[in-house]
Amino acid sequence: MTSQLADEKSEEHTTDTFNETYNATEISVNTDVGSVSVTGADREAVELEIEQSGSVSSLDRTTLTVDKSDSTLNVTVNYEQTIMERFGLTDDSRPNSEIALTIPHELERAVLETENGAIDVRDIEATVTASSTNGEVGVDNVSKIAGLKSTNGNIDAVSKALADEALIETTNGDVTLETDALNGDVTFESTNGEIDYMLGDIVDATVTVSTTNGEIKFNSDRASVETQTDEELEAVVGEGTNDLHFETVNGDITIVD
């Protein structure tokens, strides 16, 4: 076992690159070995760039699949752990994978998921769903958010709207989000982290807030507070059409105009 570990550490490192363009109106990315970035630009096709670096054996155990089905571009990167890695007998030696997509501003949908890396999305007129197990999620200047999730990392997002039944959740991380409008009911949840939310000018909602171990801060000139205690709050913004719910176990909740 000792000699095998020494061989892994001394093994030569290398880099693989991939670059191609596709005509697509939706993208789906699922990877367990690194970060994902999506940037809008004045262009007609989707440009996909992938750079993977690591030991030769780890790259041999990494599978890249790129498939275009109808109008959707699907990108998947899977890493096969060694037996020693699976049983925790040696460090996880998975390579670093950086996936970058430059897309038309008008892309319809982006679904992004990574197990070990950050997600960064900006400047696209699309509906975005993003999930990271070990990494931050950043979203800036997008048309709509359908859902954001981070298990160990912060969420920082600015969007024109939140989709109906959108869920924004973190297990160990803070949430900071600003939006202009709600397209339906939205839920924010955090187990260990703060939630900071800025009400958009045209947000119309019944706001309910609850925290087990945290402080509630609510400041809105457009809201009517119905009930407020140390652990709970209910307020109406506008006509109160949509349900906007916030919940933390360990963390403050701040809502402002």
pLDDT for 91: 82
Closest CA to 54 of 21, 91, 83: 91
pLDDT tens for the 257 residues of the chain, in order: 333 434 445 568 899 999 999 999 999 999 999 999 999 999 999 999 999 999 999 999 999 999 998 999 999 999 998 888 888 778 888 899 999 999 999 899 999 999 989 999 999 999 999 999 999 999 999 999 999 999 999 999 999 999 999 999 999 999 999 999 999 999 999 999 999 999 988 889 999 999 999 999 999 988 999 999 999 999 999 999 999 999 999 999 999 98
pLDDT for 12: 84
pLDDT for 42: 95
Q: Are 159 and 198 in contact (CB under 8 A)?
A: no
User: What residue has token string 């609510």?
Assistant: 218
Q: Are 165 and 144 in contact (CB under 8 A)?
A: no
Q: Are 161 and 219 in contact (CB under 8 A)?
A: no
pLDDT for 114: 96
User: What residue has token string 């697509």?
Assistant: 24
pLDDT for 187: 98
Strands 253-256 and 195-198: parallel
Calculate the alpha carbon distances from 13 to 53, 84, 92, 149, 188 in Å: 7, 20, 15, 32, 42
- Residue 131 structure tokens: 């999930």
C-alpha 72 chain-centroid distance: 19
**Global pTM value:** 0.92
pLDDT for 1: 35
pLDDT for 7: 47
pLDDT for 172: 96
pLDDT for 84: 83
